Amino acid sequence: MMKVRRTTVSASSADLATLEAEAARRGEPVATLLREALEEKARTLRASRRPHVAVGHSTDGASAADLTSEPVAEEPR
């Protein structure tokens, strides 16, 4: 079972009214909708921070080792 932490959320009256109406329509507590929204946002943030790896093909014959051995910027003084 996941550990749940309580917190306080500030939101506009209009946003809360929208969530309350949706919760009533679903027959669920507003907390359930908030938890779903937080889980979705956290999942998106975690996915966006994963390393992106790609496979490519050089058209000029340069290898990745050749390109990465060249300094990108001048050495700091």
State residue 50's pLDDT score.
72
**23-62 per-position pLDDT tens digit:** 999 999 999 999 999 999 998 888 887 776 667 666 776 7
Neighbours of 18 (CB within 10 A): 13
Cα separation, 64 vs 54, whole angstroms: 12
Spatial separation of the C-alpha atoms in residues 23 and 69, rounded to whole Å = 57
pTM here is 0.57
Q: Taking the domains of the chain in order of start, what are their residue ranges?
A: 14-49
Give the model's pLDDT for residue 37: 93
Among candidate residues 43, 4, 11, the one with its CA nearest the CA of residue 20? 11
